[in-house]
């Protein structure tokens, strides 16, 4: 009996080791430090909103960048162009009641600096989750829906951080002066022949 449990324990350790190697081989890494290419950012979100608080907390925890309370104090500003949530019906029962829903969140944004130059052109992050519905489990399904919306928001924050860390300062536009044609020096007058 003891030999069997020892063998089972070794098998489990071997499986865990193999899974660790597979995850390392596929490039998986834990969420960690983001190196943001700017030192301060203004979040164009409602300061009392949950998304603002969560994004601000994530920036502070994962990077040395600071979140300012005014756009003119920040190196860059995150402008929110749109943030829409939808709940669409995916399927109906024979009685005409919804059986499955799709939760969708579309978040549009861009990142600009104090001079109005775009660091990130207008972009969109689209998140979606499917959820089944059962009339007998209304309360548990409502709780599941709330958890899915929260999960989508956490996913949105992580995707925003990844995109912000990939942002690059726009190339400086050089004003070119028109080339000046060299002035031709007057040719010496030909000596007259007498």
Q: Given a cut of 90, is residue 70 above it in pLDDT?
A: yes
Q: Count of alpha carbons within 13 Å of 80, Cβ hemisphere only? A: 16
Distance (Å, rounded) from C-alpha 167 to C-alpha 169?
Answer: 7
Query: What pLDDT is stored for residue 7 in this prediction?
Result: 73
Query: What pLDDT is stored for residue 96 in this prediction?
Result: 79
Using 50, 70 and 90 to split pLDDT, how confident is the model at 32? low
CA torsion through residues 112, 149, 146, 100, sign = positive
Q: Given a cut of 80, is residue 3 above it in pLDDT?
A: no
Query: What pLDDT is stored for residue 141 in this prediction?
Result: 77
Distance (Å, rounded) from C-alpha 17 to C-alpha 108?
Answer: 41
- pLDDT tens track for 146-194: 999 999 999 999 999 999 999 998 886 544 444 444 444 554 555 544 4
Cα of first residue to Cα of last residue in the chain, in angstroms, is: 132
**E strand or H helix at 105:** strand 98-113
Query: What pLDDT is stored for residue 127 in this prediction?
Result: 97
Q: Given a cut of 90, is residue 51 above it in pLDDT?
A: yes
Query: What pLDDT is stored for residue 121 in this prediction?
Result: 96
Are 38 and 76 a contacting pair, CB within 8 Å? yes
Q: CATH second-level architecture of 32-165?
A: 2-Layer Sandwich (3.30)
- pLDDT tens track for 76-123: 999 999 999 999 988 888 887 878 999 999 999 999 999 999 999 999
- pLDDT tens track for 54-63: 999 999 998 9
Identify which of 98, 86, 78 has the alpha carbon closest to the alpha carbon of residue 160.
Answer: 78
Question: What separation in angstroms does the CA of 22 have from each of 26, 29, 41, 61?
Answer: 6, 12, 37, 29
The neighbour count for residue 76, using CB atoms within 10 Å, is 25
Q: Are strands 98-113 and 76-92 parallel, antiparallel or unpaired?
A: antiparallel
Q: Which of 10-14, 20-24, 36-40, 104-108 has the lowest mean pLDDT?
A: 20-24
Higher pLDDT residue, 162 or 13?
162
Higher pLDDT residue, 184 or 16?
16
Q: Given a cut of 80, is residue 75 above it in pLDDT?
A: yes
């Amino acid at each position: 009996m003891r030999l069997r449990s020892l063998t089972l324990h070794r098998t489990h350790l071997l499986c865990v080791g193999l899974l660790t190697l597979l995850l390392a081989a596929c490039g998986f890494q834990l969420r960690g430090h983001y190196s943001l290419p700017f030192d301060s950012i203004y979040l164009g979100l409602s300061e009392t909103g949950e998304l603002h608080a969560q994004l601000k907390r994530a920036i502070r925890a994962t990077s040395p960048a600071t979140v300012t309370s005014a756009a003119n104090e920040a190196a860059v500003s995150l402008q929110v162009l749109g943030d829409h949530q939808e709940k669409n019906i995916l399927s109906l029962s024979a009685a005409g009641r919804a059986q499955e829903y799709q939760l969708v969140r579309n978040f549009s944004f861009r990142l600009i600096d104090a001079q109005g130059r775009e660091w990130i052109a207008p972009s969109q992050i689209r998140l979606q989750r499917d959820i089944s519905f059962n009339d007998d489990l209304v309360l548990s399904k409502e709780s599941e829906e709330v958890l899915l919306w929260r999960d989508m928001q956490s996913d949105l924050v992580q995707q925003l951080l990844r995109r912000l860390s990939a942002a690059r300062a726009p190339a400086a536009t050089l004003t070119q002066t028109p080339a000046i044609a060299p002035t031709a020096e007057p040719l010496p007058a030909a000596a007259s022949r007498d």
